[in-house]
Structure 1
Amino acid sequence: MTNDAKEEHTTYINVPEAVGIFDTFEAQQAAFYDLRSVGFHHSDISLLGTQEALEERLGKAYWRASELEDDPKAPRANFVSEEAIGELEGAIAGGFFFVGSAIAMLAMLTPASTVAASIAAVAIGGSPAAVIGTILARRAGKHHKDYYENQIRHGGILMWVRVRDQEKEDLAVKILKGHSGRDVHVHGWSE
């Protein structure tokens, strides 16, 4: 009989980590930007992973933020700003418009085609593609919004910050608390 159970190994780093819980995305985002502005690297700042990652890693369909803030097995994710999501949405929608327009234009590049016909082909070919791109872009934005709403429903948005010395520890705690972070504290390890 073979054991197909996936054995998980969690590696801990002997670097302290500040943690706080935020009730709004805006407060958490402001804390992130302040941490970055005083020198914290984006790779030292993490958020709780997705619901799917939680269920896969911990087997918990229901959880509270306060239960996971000091759990080294809680899955982590990088912060993604609203600006980055907006850029992604623009790139998706614009990319689809460009591809549709380019295909239509290539089809019209014959010696017999006129400039007016080529412009019409670009507009006609790009419009349906732009609609598809817009739908996909909205879906990406909705996924981002749902991620934060799910965390707020479960007690708040978790944020962890690696702090390599006492000065950084004090600064991270001050910033997290300054942006209405709850239960802000430091534990002696990070993942």
Structure 2
Amino acid sequence: MSMPRSTDTILDRTRTREVTAVFHSRRALDDAAQDLLLSGFDRSDIDISASPDEVQRRLNYAVIPPADLADTPTAPRQPFFGADDLLGVEAVASSVLGCIAAVGSALFLIIKGYEAMAVAMWSILIGIFTGAVVIVPIYRLLRRERVRGLEPAAEWDGLLIWVRVRAPEKEAQAQEILMRHGGQAVHVHEIDLEKRPEDLPLHSLRPDPWLGDERLGRP
């Protein structure tokens, strides 16, 4: 008997009410999301559509109009991160890795018996160099859609945004903001959201590369 695939495993199901819209410009979507945040909406209540390749993979390459995809429970989503958020993450990540490299090199030089001035100078230089080097892969990871040239295709197909709302006045406010920034097919729906293993952070991480996707403890 074959094991269920990861996409067949449902961890949680929640009924929620949302305002959704379609955008054909990433800048307009970002502006709308930032306006929502400034108007008091919580960042955790704002989702946007995943990258085009992830959408196609999760939907088994079915062609679904964006307005209909917004009402599809299995449509892959991701949290909203604006340009400023990504810059902050890149700066923090590169700074932390640079500091780790600086501290590690300082300890190594102290063990080797270098003088304090030389230890300080070399550790600072190594930290700066490491931070500058690692910023490139971090940038490519966080902005992979732009790096891979997928952003124009995503804009052409239609970018989706979902805003969870818990009061009628919030529904009206979210709709007004989305329409003001050029959102199309703006509407309110109730939907059963399913959380699956691939929606969890680091779901694709394999501690042992020799292990497959089968569950452990099975004969």
The TM-score bracket by the shorter chain reads 0.7 to 0.9
Give yes or no for the alignment of 1:137 onto 2:138. Answer: yes
Single out whichever of 102-111 and 18-27 deviates more from structure 2: 102-111
SS of residue matched to 2:185: strand
Separation of aligned partners in 2, 1:59 and 1:140: 24
The amino acid that maps onto 1:178 is: R
Is 1:153 aligned with 2:170?
no
Q: Which amino acid aligns with 1:153?
A: W
In the aligned structure 2, how far is the partner of 1:70 from the partner of 1:143?
26
Q: Does 1:77 align with 2:78?
A: yes
In structure 2, how many angstroms separate the alpha carbons of the residues matched to 1:84 and 1:94? Answer: 15
The equivalent of 2:179 in structure 1 is 177
Q: Which residue of 2 aligns with 1:166?
A: 168
Per residue, is there more helix in 1 or in 2? 1
| Divergent runs of 4+, >4 A | 61-64, 146-150
Matched letter for residue 32 of structure 1? A
State the TM-score, normalized to the length of structure 2: 0.71
Amino acid in structure 1 at the alignment position of 2:168 = Q
1:93 and 1:136 in contact (8 A); partners too: no
Distance across 1 between alignment mates of 2:2 and 2:105: 56
**Correspondences of 1:33-52 after superposition (within 5 Å):** 33-51=34-52
Deviation at 1:180, TM superposition (A): 0.7
Unaligned runs of 5+ in 2: 194-219
Residue deviations 1:136-158 (CA, integer Å, cap 9, x gap): 2222343264575442132x210
Q: Kindly tell me: are residues 177 and 128 of structure 1, through their superposed partners in 2, closer, same or farther at Cα, counting changes over 3 Å?
A: same
Q: Which stretch has the larger CA shift, 2-11 or 77-86?
A: 2-11
- 2:105 is the alignment partner of 1:104: yes
Q: How far apart are the structure 1 equivalents of 2:53 and 2:161?
A: 18
Q: Which has the higher strand share?
A: 2
Please tell me the root mean square deviation across aligned C-alpha atoms, in Å.
Answer: 2.8
Question: TM-score when scaled to structure 1?
Answer: 0.80
Shift of residue 93 of structure 1?
A: 2.0
